[in-house]
Structure 1
Amino acid sequence: MLSKLVLLSLTAIAPAAWGTTYLVTTEFLPPDRPLLAAVLRSLPAGLVLLVVLRRLPKGSWWWKSAVLGLLNFGAFFALLFVAAYRLPGGVAAMVGAVQPLLVAVLASRVLGERVGPVKLGAGAAGIAGVGLLVLSADARLDAAGVLAALGGAASMAAGIVLTKRWQPPVGPLVSTAWQLVAGGLFLVPVMLAAEGPALPAFTAANLAGYLYLALVGTVLAYWLWFRGIRLLPASGVSFMSLLSPVVATAAGAAVLGESFAPGQLVGLILILGALVAANAAGLNAGARRPQPQHRPVTGSASSPRSGR
């Protein structure tokens, strides 16, 4: 159980890092360039990792990496930044909180994971908790922003489930590199068509923001995230994404001096309760269910199902 708790804690670092995305986007990045932000967050980091790791996909993993890269990075990053630019952080987080429920439904269909009343209740509690935590009475709604947030949640939900189902035959860092490059290459023509080829004059703060999002919010976070998806129930891992609005709210209070109302404490308790309930149910189910036997991957120093 201790090792599972450690694994859960390490996986939780990913959504905690993502919780700083809205703050970094609004305070450090150039205005009105969401697709540029998505490209610079994914493609350079992926190319550097490919050069360092020197591993390319083989066989069906060319197209599988392209699909996963589109879902986990290309489409998701584009929609994430569109939502971040068009919506208050609270509204975007509230809409994105439906992701754990989407993953639970998809995982039940594709992976055979049982949804159950506990996970459904935890999903509803998570959405309510996020609403109490981050949604203000005067929050403005933008139709395009809401659709982008919903699309991003659906894209990442599908990416989580397919990552769990396909199980890349390499370590999480190599798989992350493949997907970052695939997602970044998808984003480049979209960015050029929507925003044009001209680049803004980057300030030191802009460069620092892009570097942080690429290294901490992407390479480190997704390496831990994909590792958690491999070793834990997909629906349980997805509930970890509820930590993002918690960190976003805490960052806003600490850095921007935003107030913290009593109702937000109730929201925080609901979110933490949803996390504990969903992951406890997932771990108990995983402990009762026999684990499938996998063939070891030859020619690899580190099997994705052994020493990671």
Structure 2
Amino acid sequence: MELSVLLRIYRHGQQAALRYANEMIETQNWPEEGRVEILTEVWSRATDWFSLCVEQLITAYAEERERWLRSALTRRRQQVEAVLRGDAVDVTAAETSLGHPLRRRNTALVIIADSETDGTTGLEESAVRLAAALGAPRPLLVPVGSRTLWAWLATDHTPDLTLLNATTRPKDIRIGIGITANGVEGFRSSHREAVAALQADARQLVLYSDVELVSLLSADRTALSTFIDRTLGRLADDVHAPLRDTVIAYLAEGVGGASTKLGLHRNTVRYRLRQAEDLLGHSLETGRLELHLALVCATADTQSAN
């Protein structure tokens, strides 16, 4: 029962006891002063008793509620971990237990605090705000320690993640977001991707869709760094970031597309491409796939460092 209900029960008990005392005193043939003295004593003792009981009630209630919450959170996490492991799970029972529709389209979030906190309340509030910004219902929340929160949004459509901006999240947390996918398998895969997004990039908000190639290629960070340096040569230097952006846009969309995307004149795009070829020492068409991958990974590394 809620604490307010329990307190009402105690108040009714106190009032009933006092009524009984009043009725008993009224039946006695005592002088008026004696009755007042006895009533005063009874009221005083009843008030002291009630205050003591309420203090003990509140303490016991808080302790029991904390035990219940810990137990409920433990059961929720165990249920979620079973789904993530791919255990044989009764989906209908799991949905009822978690209060979350696993069969819908799921978008996973992993939210990490930059410093130690007194709990995950702030992280949960951030997750709820993110869900509201995306027009999604209240998310499934699973605390993992004092600094990490797993969350899932269940929707009928793919959320528009471009709606997220600096106003929807505090500056002292990092958020990884997986790709929206259907059903239980989507619940699993999106979570794996949210975790991988934070491992691949150090920015505050990381969409796995933006760093998927980097994540797939970055299991060995040393090898990835060697690949970037070997493929890009002097083009990997920080000072040449505008040239790299131009080459990426060109490889993806051609001169016209790069011009439109970057807001540059076509001649400026061509000039930058020639500069890039001079730094590479060969045509942009030589090893085009490797070049494109190295540029994407170098850009992600630069953004991560910033």
TM-score (norm 2): 0.24
Which has a greater percent of helix? 1
Which protein shows a greater Rg?
A: 2
Q: Which has the higher contact order (CA 8 A, sep 6+)?
A: 1
